Amino acid sequence: MNAFIRDIPKAELHIHIEGSLEPELMFALAQRNNVSLPYPSVEAVRAAYQFQNLQSFLDLYYAGTAVLRTEQDFYDLTWAYLQRCVQQNVRHAEIFFDPQSHTERGIPFEVVHAGLYRALQDAKQKWGITSYLILCFLRHLSAKSAMATLERSLPFKSTILAVGLDSSELGHPPSKFQKVFDRARDEGFLTVAHAGEEGPAAYIWEAIRSLGVARIDHGVRCTDDPELVDYLAQQQIPLTVCPLSNIKLCVFNSMQQHNLKHLLELGLCVTVNSDDPSYFGGYIAENYEAIQSALHLSHQDIYRLARNSFSASFLPPHEKQSRLNELDRFMAAVV
């Protein structure tokens, strides 16, 4: 089963590129850029990855971003993630980045963007991995800051497909950013948002109604509202679920308690993703493996999740169909 999970063609739709910063690369970049870290070793960093909630993770996550300074740093970060994609047969990735985490430190937007985008282009040429960038606004910062970031991104909008909303969910409802998202859609960006991870089901409604999102990132709290579940199923609004993240951040107490299989049974368009894989203990294959083992998912369940990942992507119809055909050829060969 694990070989099947690794080899099946799949897309990843919920990956924070800064959250793929492995401790080894963190130390290498710290040394390259003469940045002092609050940890003496790689082992000490890994030992710190015990989180009580989303905020305790974010505190460490933002500390880690301090080592990212140059275009080459952002390239190396992205390239390391893309090498994992090759190993786990991720054929398409839609990648979140948090420019405010860097511009607030004095790193120019164009430096961040150039490193990320160059790596994505090189991976497409070398391995045929397609990808899109999704600019995320940090919801614990002001809507004014988000709007300024949106403005800063406009010269690059031909290379950034969508905008999203991440960081501390509680106390920062999606409606706080309605004007920013209205402007983003006017500029031609697609929209997604984190909602219903720690926040209530009401935040999912807000993301749909106030922000006009095409996808909900996380969304596992939707089951608190049967009307919402029915709406998500009818409209087939995808949920980008991140199982290992949900356990690591105490959204569920154990993987056996995770509601992913139940969401599938309810007819929702559920996908599996890695979120911040360095911090949460695994990339996309490890997330599939963990949820499969805990919930006894069948080969057909895994196929359905992989199929959902392409169907829920922002690929144009002909490319989406090409990836689905690739998936079906794989299934025909292994069944």
pLDDT tens-digit readout, 141-164: 999 999 999 999 999 999 999 999
Enter the tokens of residue 317: 């119809």
Q: How many domains does the chain have?
A: 1
Interatomic CA distance for residues 198 and 195, integer angstroms: 8
CA 284 → CA 26, 61, 138, 146, distances in Å?
21, 19, 24, 29
Name the residue type at position 235: Q
Catalytic residues: 197
Residue range of the domain that includes 205: 2-334
User: Do 227 and 205 touch, CB atoms closer than 8 A?
Assistant: no
In this prediction, residue 83 carries a pLDDT of: 98
Q: Which residues contact 234 (CB under 8 A, 6 or more apart)?
A: none
Q: Which of 211, 146, 140, 129 is nearest to 174 (CA)?
A: 211
- Tens of pLDDT, residue by residue over 266-294, are 999 999 999 999 999 999 999 999 999 99
Q: Which long-range contacts (CB under 8 A, 24 or more apart) does 222-226 make?
A: 222/196, 222/263, 222/268, 223/259, 223/262, 223/263, 223/266, 224/200, 225/201
Neighbours of 293 (CB within 10 A): 14
Give residue for tokens 């922002």. 314
In this prediction, residue 218 carries a pLDDT of: 98
Enter the tokens of residue 5: 């999970």
Half-sphere exposure of residue 175: CA atoms within 13 angstroms, side-chain side: 6
In this prediction, residue 56 carries a pLDDT of: 78
Q: What is the CATH number of the domain that holds 136?
A: 3.20.20.140
Enter the tokens of residue 28: 């290498």
In this prediction, residue 47 carries a pLDDT of: 85
Interatomic CA distance for residues 136 and 120, integer angstroms: 17
Enter the tokens of residue 227: 């009307």
Give residue for tokens 């420019």. 99
Write down the pTM of the prediction: 0.96
> Quick one: three-class SS letters along the chain?
CHHHHHHCCEEEEEEEHHHHCCHHHHHHHHHHHCCCCCCCCHHHHHHCCCCCCHHHHHHHHHHHHHHCCCHHHHHHHHHHHHHHHHHCCEEEEEEEECHHHHHCCCCCHHHHHHHHHHHHHHHHHHHCCEEEEEEEEECCCCHHHHHHHHHHHHHHHHHCCEEEEECCCCCCCHHHHHHHHHHHHHCCCEEEEEECCCCCHHHHHHHHHHHCCCEEEECHHHHHCHHHHHHHHHHCCCEEECHHHHHHCCCCCCHHHCCHHHHHHCCCCEEECCECHHHHCCCHHHHHHHHHHHHCCCHHHHHHHHHHHHHCCCCCHHHHHHHHHHHHHHHHHHC
> In terms of DSSP bridges, do strands 190-195 and 215-218 run parallel, antiparallel, or are they unpaired?
parallel
- Tens of pLDDT, residue by residue over 114-129, are 999 999 999 999 999 9
Listed as ranges, residues in the chain with pLDDT below 70 are none
